[in-house]
Amino acid sequence: MNLSETWQTWLHVITAPGEPTFEAERQKPQATLTTALIWMLIAGVIAAVLGFIQAAVAAGAAQGTIGQIIATADLPPETRAALEQLLNSGALSILTGGASLTSIIMVPIGFLVSTAIYFVIAKLLGGTGDFGRYAYLNASFGAPLTILSSILSVIPFLGCITIFVGIYQIVLTYYSTKVEHNLTSGRALIVVLLPLIVVLLLVFCFVFFVLGAILTIPVQSN
């Protein structure tokens, strides 16, 4: 599949969501795990490049603030000199920029893990789909939406829109799950929402645990 065909597929799936669209996509000969991984790797590279640029800009802005803090802090001369040398070496930019480059690996890995989780739940609920085709269907919207989210994150004041992009991705996952696994609407909805509910419960438990630990810390009076 060349670049033009890839772009047309992504655009069609995103702008014309629904069971007929995914039914047509799953019949294509390129509906394989290999195609899915290539698409997600492309998305990972683009996300990494955009993330590197964003991190470099943020690090440059933070460097000035940190420098002022070091200059005004009550520190021994040797410590201040060492911190200023570390700051001027560009270590902050290298660290933040390097961390963003992990998207090249983490995007495909995260995609495989999430697809596998959906696939297992669907199978437990009687799904009959093929993992390779299912991965292809999910990548047909997962890759372009990942790129879109990366672009929005770089643009100031537009990062919040990525929340709606994530919601839309859940909707598309519902359609791909229902079509590939031949599930009822209710069971396809369970497949998509169950992992989200589990994650939210884990986050809630963690926040509750942290707040509980903070509240139990004894307050020392003067």
Concatenate the DSSP letters of all residues of 76-100 into one string. Answer: -HHHHHHHHHHHHTTHHHHHHHHHH
Per-residue pLDDT tens for 191-202? Answer: 999 999 999 999
Distance CA 11, CA 140 (A): 9
Predicted confidence band at 163 (pLDDT cuts at 50, 70, 90)?
A: very high
Cβ partners under 8 Å of residue 14, min gap 6: 141, 144, 145, 172
pLDDT at 111 over 80: yes
Residue listed under structure tokens 């590197």:
52
More confident residue, 108 or 92: 108
More confident residue, 96 or 18: 18
How much is the average pLDDT of 60-72? 66
Return the pLDDT at 64.
63
Question: What integer best gives the mean pLDDT of the chain?
Answer: 87
Cβ partners under 8 Å of residue 80, min gap 6: 70, 71, 73
Return the pLDDT at 128.
95
pLDDT at 93 over 90: no
Q: Read off the tokens for 2.
A: 């060349």
Find out whether 40 and 143 touch, Cβ atoms under 8 Å.
yes
Distance CA 39, CA 30 (A): 12
The span from the first CA to the last CA of the chain, in angstroms, equals: 72
More confident residue, 4 or 60: 4
Per cent of the chain over pLDDT 90 is: 62
> Averaging pLDDT over each range in 12-21, 50-59, 84-93, which range is the top one?
12-21
Helix (H) or strand (E) holding 217: none
Beta carbons within 10 angstroms of residue 6's beta carbon: 18
Query: b/e for 95-109, b at 16 or more Cβ within 10 A?
Result: ebbeebbebbeebbe
Return the pLDDT at 127.
96
pLDDT at 2 over 90: no
